[in-house]
Amino acid sequence: MIRALIIGATGGIGTAVTKALRDRGDDVTALSRSRDGLDVTDEASVEAVLGRLDGAFDLILVTTGALEVSHGPEKSLRDLSAAALAEQFALNATGPALVLKHALRLIPRDRRAVFAALSARVGSIGDNRLGGWYAYRAAKAALNQILHGAAVEIARSHPQAIVAALHPGTVQTDLTRRYLGRHPSVTPDEAAANLLRVIDGLNEADSGGFFDWRGDRVPW
């Protein structure tokens, strides 16, 4: 049994991961904005809610994020705006970074532990062949860089810790329904099972990496 902390636990993926962990007998603390007031775009909120937690967690998983906030994904540079960039960075990059900052004290120093956040393959610079979706792509690329850099630092004080960015695949949720099209997709329950299998298989050498739902490395 492990002790797990799920951030964004009322979203499609967060709900499914929480259920999957509890079904296998793990001890899960599930936090969200709607139930617990944890707004990852507000550092005071993150600090206050996480500050109420005690002990150490073997898994901290950030499942927050969105393809669009108040602006849809851009099809061309003409659609790009400073507001869209700011919103995407606040939710998809800054938010998980703030969680990691304030959750670091909850990561054990004496045993294996995983901190992971949901990224997206479209945040890969090397895999970008279609263009567009500027703000979302850039925010996820920034998240990947933050996690990679944090892995370097955290290894000095938490030698068994693993920090990773995870691509869950295209998941059938309310947030993605408009963009599924003909893309292969999975249910939240399938995504949760895939993510937990990848997380369970990570080792210290994988810290700082970017992995898809199969466990394969995604190009930066």
- Assigned domain for 217 exists: no
CATH of the domain at 15: 3.40.50.720
pLDDT at residue 174, rounded to an integer: 66
For 68, the domain range is 3-212
Instruction: Give residue-wise pLDDT tens across range 153-163.
Output: 999 999 999 99
Got the DSSP string for the chain?
--EEEEESTTSHHHHHHHHHHHHTT-EEEEE-HHHH---TT-HHHHHHHHHT--S--SEEEE----S-SSSPPPSSGGG--HHHHHHHHIIIIIHHHHHHHHHGGGS-SSS-EEEEEE--GGG-STT--S---HHHHHHHHHHHHHHHHHHHHHHHH-TTEEEEEEE--SB-STTTGGG-TTS--B-HHHHHHHHHHHHHH--GGGTTEEEETTSPBPP-
pTM, to two decimals: 0.94
- Assigned domain for 219 exists: no
pLDDT at residue 153, rounded to an integer: 98
Residue-level pLDDT, tens digit, the chain, 220 residues: 999 999 999 999 999 999 999 999 999 999 999 999 999 999 999 999 999 999 999 999 999 999 888 888 999 999 999 999 999 999 999 999 999 999 999 999 999 999 999 999 999 999 999 999 999 999 999 999 999 999 999 999 999 999 999 999 988 876 666 665 666 788 999 999 999 999 999 999 999 999 999 999 999 9
Q: How many CB atoms lie within 10 A of CB 59?
A: 23
Domain total for the chain? 1
Q: Strands 27-31 and 3-7, how do they pair?
A: parallel
- Assigned domain for 180 exists: yes
pLDDT at residue 141, rounded to an integer: 98
CA distance 80 to 133: 9
CA distance 136 to 114: 25
pLDDT at residue 33, rounded to an integer: 97
Instruction: Give residue-wise pLDDT tens across range 181-218.
Output: 666 788 999 999 999 999 999 999 999 999 999 999 99
Q: For the chain, how far is it from start to end, CA to CA, in angstroms?
A: 33
User: Tokens 């994020």, residue?
Assistant: 65
- Assigned domain for 73 exists: yes
- Assigned domain for 81 exists: yes
Is 80 within 8 Å of 135 (Cβ atoms)? yes
- Assigned domain for 89 exists: yes
pLDDT at residue 170, rounded to an integer: 87
pLDDT at residue 182, rounded to an integer: 62
- Assigned domain for 220 exists: no
CA distance 17 to 23: 10
pLDDT at residue 184, rounded to an integer: 76
- Assigned domain for 218 exists: no
pLDDT at residue 132, rounded to an integer: 94
